[in-house]
Structure 1
Amino acid sequence: MRVRREPPKGTVIGFAFSVASCSLSWQDQVMACHHDLAQVDIYEKLPVPFGLVRFGVAPDHPEVKNVINTFTHTARSDRCAYYGNVTVGRDVTVGELQQAYHAVVLSYGAEDNRVLGIPGENLSGVYSARAFVGWYNGLPENRDLKPDLSCETALIVGHGNVALDIARILLSPLDFLRTDITDCSLAALACSKVKRVWLAGRRGPLQVAFTIKELREMINLPGTQPVLNPADFTGLENAVKDAPRPRKRLTELMVKTALEKPREKAAMVQAAIPRLWGLKFQRSPQEVLPTPDGTRVRGVRMALTRLEGLGESAKAVPTGDVEELECGLVLSSIGYRSLPLDPAVPFDTQHGVIPNSSGRVMGVPGLYCSGWVKRGPVGVIITTMNDSFDTAQSVLEDLQGGVLDVSVSREGFGAVGSILHSRGIRPVSFSDWEKIDAAEVARGKAAGKPREKIVDPQEMLQLIGH
């Protein structure tokens, strides 16, 4: 957000929201707009904006992407400027941004994934959830993934919303996916042989991380049947009587689903319903098993676990027993992690966050952080919104309290633009993005979809004459 009106004494209150990956927290800019002298410039690694709303939200959840309308309204403000195609930490350093602005907010999310750390993880047919989601959502770095969907059984390791998203995409009728999913992904899914998807977690039903909306959507997915073991839910209705309402309702839905479709009917269900999915609890992957030629996955050896402790804090402890689950596709959905951005920025490698207090980066006045790089990769969009409000409030408090020195004018993009020009970097403006947007919508209309994403950054730049 830019200030077109300068405050007294010629000073300019400038904020740079530096986004190095694809998890842009635009709510910060909305909050900063509450200060009528604030000028906010947004730096984004990719030529296109909207981060995880564009590349993380499932393509069959278009209603969630309506928040883009708010983002667009903010970006069109005469106090806001967007500069895409700029990688902070490479094209311009954080130190250079700090010299150009009174405050810099880092909101670059978690651009890496946690690994299983087990033998066989690098076999063909094993993918991270992050890469798979990026593939079907058109994230440029994952456009060439080409996952092998020629098997009948897939195993997803993880019990979060992303795991359910992937299961739903694998099993959905194609008509459900004619949204902004990429054409190459839609074509691959049309040829997919996957008809069984198991979601395994090392803990139990009371520790699942997905939410009731996503579970209900999965249960009601046409042409599919949930297969849950009633024994996994014995006594849980009493155990959650005093639990918070969201956890209680979620558990009750799992119990109801398990009791309605007993395990002993699984064979009959399998014969009648072409596609199945189920939740497997207290199983921790121990080894990805190779095919006889050693080239790709044929299954996963799982360590059975028991729980120590109660509720959210329960720990999974191996029992010593193991079982093998046959599958030809493994997707690891055990979490994301942030990476260090710049040597000038403190970073806690153990927890994968920038050390901070309410978004204020520890020991670096004028530097702030928001989103997953601030508090870790947890929560949904509303969680990130509330978190970004907290950071934006810290910026405003520091501005009003004199912590930020605005007695000296800062050049903002005037200085950064010169640096980028000297390094051969040509930023993409928001009006440039709107040309890309129009092209995507036109291509989508021709294909009977709301949008066909351009997945090659070079094609994006050529389209706008860069």
Structure 2
Amino acid sequence: MAAAAAAHPIKLAIIGSGPSAFYAATRALTSAPTPAAAPISAVRIYKALPTPFGLVRAGVAPDHPDVKNVSHRFTEVVRSVPATFRFFGSVRVVDGPSSPSRTQTGGTALELPLQELLQHYTHIILAYGSARARTLGSRVGGQELGGVCWALDFVNWYSGHPDAHTPAGSDGRRSALGSPWLDVIRPDARHVSIIGAGNVAPDVARLADARVEHVSIVARRGVAQVALTNKEVREMLNLGESEGIDFVPLSKESGELALDDMARLKQTFRQRDEEPQSGRIRLRMRKRFVDLLIKGSKAPKPDAAGHRKSWSLEPFRAPESILHSTGLPWARAARTNERGYVGQIRWSVTEPVPSSSDSSAEASPSPAPTSPSWTPIWEAIDTFFGNVCELDLVFNFYKVYAILDEVFLGGEIEETSKTVVLSRLEQLEKLE
């Protein structure tokens, strides 16, 4: 077995250069050789953009150096093995023959067919991020109305991604600043709804145009499942002091539901037999998170114009339909050939599924509330679709999939996918 492994060293290609890609590369480059595992002779990273590190490089603000510092660790590792590692920027991997670049990325990217890569590498990891926004599905009408914008477009814009572009306005000209706000929000807009409580949500709330008075972050699941860290929430709550942006505390009902969520999470940890100390730490951090939201902001104050801005978290809500600004359902407005703008959003009330161990949520028969009028919407559900290789794959960032014997998928989320990708890589290293 050892002799066979030695005769077939692993040549690894990684498509994508975000955190999960570099975590996989780092593990491959630093793992101690064992008699049972084939040696790794080459690690190559391919990226459509000319620069590495993904959103760690472009999507993290300079005032968060602790997050950006991970790129320094990656750089140290790859520089220590110059004969084994190579980074190839401006190379777009496609599922088809090579042709003039069809990518939207700035500059010229060489197209490299996936099948050609397979001829030169023993294993390939697909660790690229999203390149296409995820819609709300066909059951939710009104997504084509003016005032609807996707999280991917927003992230590309504020991180300076070459794919970011400014849609032409009604006069055929483009906005000078290239801000999505200038193109989708009505002049009289005062309320923005964000569907999904992922990491994009606080960025939208902080960067909202000055005329917006309130931002609602709407989540299908409960407060305990919101994908924000305690640090991010503290920063948001402190906006009351620094920028006059107040957090509207959770309602009594939402607060009670959040505490119920914590009880369910505690029971879930017990059922999964997690390591006691680790489980207690995670529960304590989530409990602190819930307490912060129940308590609310510090010292809210009006802005220079005397207005008081605010943001809120609305759990257990799912979009049912997006209505035209005239109050007509989107389908009726479409028949009049008037694209129009968002006027209202009708929500379905969701509730935890008692039999589910992951505290997911499903629609309940409760009456569907309607949000206030003139409500532009930002669809901030995390985008899991990618189009590298044009395989039209749906990502689950909690797993790594094997789509072929030698091709693996890894999600581009640092903390979540790190353990999973590396675990899968350990299995990969043992293959002949």
Whole-Å separation in 2 of the counterparts to 1:333 and 1:133: 10
TM-score (norm 2): 0.70
Residues 124-163 of structure 1: pairs in structure 2 closer than 5 A: 124-144=146-166, 146-149=179-182, 150=187, 151-163=189-201
Q: Contact 1:23–1:109 (CA<8 Å) still a contact in 2?
A: no
Separation of aligned partners in 2, 1:386 and 1:156 = 30
How far off is 1:93 after superposition? 1.9
- Whether 1:74 and 2:77 are equivalent positions in the alignment is yes
Shift of 1:327: 4.2
CA separation in 1, counterparts of 2:147 and 2:128? 29
Alignment RMSD, CA only? 3.7
Which residue does 1:287 correspond to in 2?
Answer: 321
Q: Identify the range of structure 1 (71-80 vs 117-126) with the bigger mean alpha-carbon deviation.
A: 71-80
Matching of residue 231 in structure 1 with residue 253 in structure 2: yes
Q: Is the alpha carbon distance of 1:259 and 1:341 closer, same or farther for their aligned partners in structure 2, counting shifts above 3 Å?
A: closer
Q: Give distance in 1, aligned partners of 2:52 and 2:296.
A: 44
Report the counterpart of residue 274 of structure 2 in structure 1. none
CA distance in 2 between partners of 1:198 and 1:360 (Å): 35
Change (3 A) 1:115 1:55: farther
- The one-character-per-residue Cα deviations of 1:179-212 (angstroms, maximum 9, x if unpaired) are xxxxxxxxxx6xx322321111233334433332
In structure 1, C-alpha distance between the alignment counterparts of 2:389 and 2:258, rounded to whole Å: 47
Are the aligned partners of 1:202 and 1:284 in contact in 2 as well (CA < 8 Å)?
A: yes
Partner of 1:258: 294
- Unaligned 5+ segments in structure 2 are 34-38, 99-110, 168-178, 267-278, 327-337
Q: 1:143 to 1:247 in 2, by over 3 A?
A: farther
Give how far 1:156 is off.
0.7
- Which structure's residues are more often helix, by fraction? 1
* Code of the aligned partner of 2:199: N
Task: Return the match for 2:142 from 117, 120, 128.
Answer: 120
Q: Partner of 1:390 in structure 2?
A: 423
Query: 1 CA distance for matches of 2:406 and 2:363?
Result: 42
Q: Which runs of 5+ in 1 are unaligned?
A: 1-6, 171-188, 373-379, 404-466
1:151-186 deviation per Cα after TM superposition (whole angstroms, max 9, x unaligned): 33211111223222332343xxxxxxxxxxxxxxxx
The amino acid across from 1:165 in the alignment is D
Go from structure 1 to structure 2 and tell me whether the alpha carbon gap of 1:273 and 1:370 turns closer, same or farther (over 3 Å shift). Answer: same
More moved, 211-220 vs 120-129: 211-220
Question: Residue in 1 aligned with 2:218?
Answer: 200
SS of residue matched to 2:50: coil
Q: Provide the C-alpha distance between the structure 2 equivalents of 1:250 and 1:327, rounded to a whole number of angstroms.
A: 34
TM superposition score normalised by structure 1: 0.65
* Deviation string, structure 1 residues 87-143 (Cα, Å, up to 9, x no partner): 111522222111112222221233333212322211222111121011100111113
2:324–2:341 CA contact under 8 A, matched in 1: yes
- State the partner residue of 1:177: none
What is aligned with 1:323?
370
The count of aligned residue pairs is: 355
Pick closer, same or farther for the CA change 1:93–1:24 going to 2, 3 Å.
Answer: farther
Distance (Å, rounded) in 2 between the aligned partners of 1:316 and 1:239: 17
- Residue 296 of structure 1 deviates from its aligned partner by 2.1
Are the structure 2 counterparts of residues 155 and 55 from structure 1 closer, same or farther at C-alpha, using a change threshold of 3 Å? same
Is 1:336 aligned to residue 354 of structure 2?
A: no
% identical aligned pairs: 28
> 1:28 deviation in Å?
1.2
Distance 1:220 1:124 in 2: 32
Aligned-partner SS, 2:69? helix
